[in-house]
Amino acid sequence: MEERLKSQLAFALEIDKVKNIFRQTHLSSHGRNENDAEHSWHMAVMAYLLREYANEEVDIAKVMLMCLLHDIVEIDAGDTYAYDEEGLKTQKAREDAAKERIFSILPEEQKVEFTALFDEFEAYETAESKFVHAIDNLQPLLLNDSNNGGDWLEHQVTAGQVYKRQGKTKLGSEKLFEITDEIIRKNIEKGNLRE
């Protein structure tokens, strides 16, 4: 087998491991914890579906690929819960090391392409990355809302913490932030989020 194809297939097999990285968020209707692959797939479909609500016109193919790639680093770095202050302190270093190892499996130009997409997502500067972050915030919010705030209750998350995390949603989509705000307020009223 030629070296290029061998590397590409090795990468394809490596990223299968993302199916074993479980998140704090549960599937809708009180299902089990979702894994990173499910989260990324769900985000990619949501991004395509909701693209009309992006603040700016976006390259939807790039957005969808960014959705699919953004959590691959968690194969090595693990999932850092959004409200885990200690874990967040070391997240970037862990993810940078993972990015280098995992994307280095690829042929050089694809390593450069995927690394650039990951770095663009992390930099939060382009219309595409801002929209992906809006979807990345909305997706678990929808699931948690469907589960009557179970994950927030379990981790004793406050409304202030959720608003802080969701605050950047409006940079990618003002409309989706309006929906986010409605969901948060509803969960405060129901007692699922402490003020």
* Tens of pLDDT, residue by residue, the chain (195 residues): 899 999 999 999 999 999 999 999 999 988 899 999 999 999 999 999 999 999 999 999 999 999 999 999 999 999 998 888 888 899 999 999 999 999 999 999 999 999 999 999 999 999 999 999 999 999 999 999 999 999 999 999 999 999 999 999 999 999 999 999 999 999 999 999 988
**Whole-number Å distance between alpha carbons of 40 and 27:** 13
- What pLDDT is attached to residue 82? 83
Would you give the DSSP letter of residue 2? -
- What pLDDT is attached to residue 88? 86
- The closest alpha carbon to 63, from 136, 139, 140, 129, belongs to 129
**Whole-number Å distance between alpha carbons of 34 and 21:** 9
- The closest alpha carbon to 141, from 130, 149, 153, 133, belongs to 149
Instruction: Enumerate long-range contacts of 163-167, CB under 8 Å, 24 or more apart.
Output: 165/82, 165/83, 165/137, 166/137, 166/141
